[in-house]
Amino acid sequence: MEPNSSEDASSNIISNGIKNNKMVHETDLYRTSYHFQPQQNWMNDPNGPMYYKEVYHLFYQYNPDGASFGKKMVWGHSVSYDLMNWIHLNHHPLQPSHHYDIHGCFSGSTTIIPSNNQPFILYTGFDETKHQVQNLAMPKNPQDPFLREWIKHPQNPIITAPIGLVEQENFRDPTTAWKGSDGKWRVIIGARNGDLGKAILYHSDDFVNWKLSPNNHQFYVIDGIGMCECPDFFPVLIDGTKHGVDLDYSSVQDSNDVIRHVLKISYQNKQQEHYLVGKYVCDEDKFVAENKITGTSLDLKLDHGEFYASKSFFDYAKKRRVLWGWVKELDTEQDDILKGWAGLQGIPRQVWLHENGKWLMQWPIEELETLRDSDNQVSILGHKLVAGSTLQVSGITASQADVEVVFELPELESAEWLDSKEVDPQIVCSDKEYASRSGIIGPFGLLALASKDLTEQTAIFFTIFRTPNGFSCLMCTDLTRINIDRSIIESFGEKGRVCITNRVYPLLATEKDAHLYVFNSGKQNVCISKLNAWSMKRAKFVQQ
């Protein structure tokens, strides 16, 4: 069973492209129907997402000149009322214009100043000497809910790299700033110094003049990982509820018993999102993490697939924290140039802390359900999935679908033995043949974007093991959700504890030739206690 392969994608696109001689979205087999992507060209990191004057804003790293990473990156900008349907604004709020960003306006964040509800952008400029410096921009007209025009601060660059502490070429991606209980603004900037990955902390009284934190400017240092890109620092409630909290520390002293903080870094060398959960002592600028980033499979990760440079924001409207993440292409640069675009944003996710206080939970935001086509839904209840069997889920558009499935498992005693100290689950997972190998309980799961003859498919599967401390499952889950959208598959397992994002480029399983199956390669029967699947409607994207 060949998983959908990326390397053969080019033949398909080339044939389409040349044949039709015009690549319009409809014929573009891999262009998504409900994921955020610009009309054309290259997109990477989500920048400064926010909710302002009842409008959701998403800025993103964008190359206006082509479908590959550009020499003069700008900030793209789109707005929405529901985080699903978008208005792509024609202007670029930030584009290279001065010595301090002439080689590119790189990633950064927005901060809304509570006192006057005015948003500011802090972003990294790639300057004339190819050093990375931090700059400030503010809206020309804060009354415009679409914030179409931005002005760069005359004092830019407002922060330059502290020599000896960090490399001037690796000092970027300022976080959303927050005000401490001492009334001082704080911001973290990602950096590297040799093998040391660093989160550098700055203070400011007026949001313009910044200096290294006198308490603890090396906010967090990780040896052996190299560059810490796109840091994100935010509070979460420890009561397990899905509510979000914002970065307001007027009373932080006594809230460490109800909140924890998350420091997320984009691990450049591994292109993965690793995070720490811990206690933040604001007036000492100390972050005491309860886990470590070691670069091994034991690390806490936001996603085990293609998901990078993520950024969260506090959604005042719904009192939740929403997470965006860039999902890059896995086909070739040639393919991207031919299809005329590259890069997606994952479905925005609500993020909260598990009630055990140890790890984050993520789930697609509820607005995604507004795109479910209720006239095109399938339900399967209490179906015994016999060992070695496959069941087609028909009656939906399998190339763009939303699926929720609950599996019930037989008695577990017969499960195979696995000592996770001896075996790295990540390696087991990455074995392409694993899904078809017959274990005792599993592999079982879903075959998405599958061709009729199953020669092409992407398996999302689970296996149950007996381990030294009880039972564990390889992405074992009782509740899973997968979002399928033509060339992206996002899986959310165990109610949101495990997320895996895939990019696939099916050659056969496209449009109406795409199918969805449930399978059980295990020796024991499992039960589909509940499966609901919906065809998904297209989201609306307009240019303005």
Which residue numbers are catalytic?
A: 45
Phi-psi region of 323 (alpha: psi -120 to 50; beta: other; left: phi over 0): beta
Q: Which is nearer to ligand DQQ, 45 or 456 (CB)?
A: 45
- Residues 390 and 515: beta-carbon distance below 8 Å: no
Direct distance between the N- and C-terminal alpha carbons of the chain, in angstroms, rounded to an integer:
45
Question: Does 100 participate in binding ligand DQQ (rule CB under 6 A)?
Answer: no
The SS3 of residue 14 is helix
**Does position 107 bind ligand DQQ by CB under 6 A?**
yes
Site for ligand DQQ contains 310 (CB under 6 A) = no
Q: Which residues pair with 46 in a beta bridge?
A: 60
Min separation Cβ 419 and ligand DQQ, Å:
36
Comparing CA positions, the residue from 240, 306, 310 lying closest to residue 458 is: 306
Q: Is 426 helix (H, G, I), strand (E, B) or coil?
A: helix
Closer residue to ligand DQQ (CB): 327 or 528: 327
Helix (H) or strand (E) holding 12: helix 9-20
> In Å, how far from its chain's centre is CA 20?
34
Choosing from 28, 229, 303, 490, the residue that interacts with ligand DQQ (CB under 6 A) is 229
Site mask for ligand DQQ (CB under 6 A), range 396-415, x = bound: --------------------
- Interface residue with ligand DQQ among 124, 193, 521, 535 (CB under 6 A) is 124
- How far is residue 20's CA from residue 339's CA, in Å, rounded to a whole number? 12
> What tokens does 417 get?
């033995």
Q: Is residue 484 within 8 Å of residue 501, measured between CB atoms? A: no
Q: Give alpha helix (H) positions in 328-439.
A: 333-339, 425-429
- For ligand DQQ, which is the closer residue by CB, 191 or 448? 191
Q: How far is CA 115 from CA 3, 119, 183, 204, 208, in A?
A: 53, 11, 12, 16, 16
In whole angstroms, the minimum distance from the beta carbon of 328 to ligand DQQ comes to: 9
User: How many chain residues touch ligand DQQ (CB under 6 A)?
Assistant: 13
Nearer to ligand DQQ, 47 or 400 (CB): 47
**Least distance in angstroms from the C-beta of 61 to ligand DQQ:** 4
Residue 274 C-beta: closest distance to ligand DQQ, Å: 14
Q: What minimum distance in Å lies between the beta carbon of 131 and ligand DQQ? A: 13
* Cα–Cα dist 223/227, whole Å: 10
Indicate the residue among 32 and 44 with the shorter CB distance to ligand DQQ. Answer: 44
Let me know how many helices (H) and strands (E) the chain has, helices first: 3, 38
**Among positions 172, 179, 321, 349, the unique one binding ligand DQQ when judged by CB under 6 A:** 172
Sheet of strand 150-152, all strands in order from the earlier edge strand to the far edge: 105-113, 118-126, 132-139, 150-152
User: By C-beta, is 61 or 502 nearer to ligand DQQ?
Assistant: 61
Task: Give dist(CA 531, CA 383) in Å, integer.
Answer: 9
State yes or no: residue 61 binds ligand DQQ (CB under 6 A).
Answer: yes
Between residues 265 and 361, which has the closer beta carbon with respect to ligand DQQ? 265
Residue 73 is a binding residue for ligand DQQ (CB under 6 A):
yes
**Dihedrals phi, psi of 442, to nearest 5 degrees:** 100, 180
Residue 106 is a binding residue for ligand DQQ (CB under 6 A):
yes
Q: Scanning residues 13 to 52, which ones bind ligand DQQ (CB under 6 A)? A: 44-45
SS3 of 81, please? Answer: coil
Kindly give the pairing relationship between strand 86-88 and strand 74-80.
antiparallel
Report the nearest approach of ligand DQQ to the CB of residue 73 (Å). Answer: 5
Minimal distance, residue 170 CB to ligand DQQ, in Å: 9
Residue 229 or 336 with smaller CB distance to ligand DQQ = 229
By CB under 6 A, tell whether 134 contacts ligand DQQ: no
Stretch 245-284: interaction string toward ligand DQQ, x if CB under 6 A: ---------------------x------------------
Shortest spacing between CB 190 and ligand DQQ, in angstroms = 7
Q: Can you tell me the distance from the alpha carbon of 192 to that of 154, in angstroms, rounded to the nearest whole number?
A: 28
Query: What is the binding site for ligand DQQ (CB under 6 A)?
Result: 44-45, 61, 73, 106-107, 124, 172-173, 229-230, 266, 309
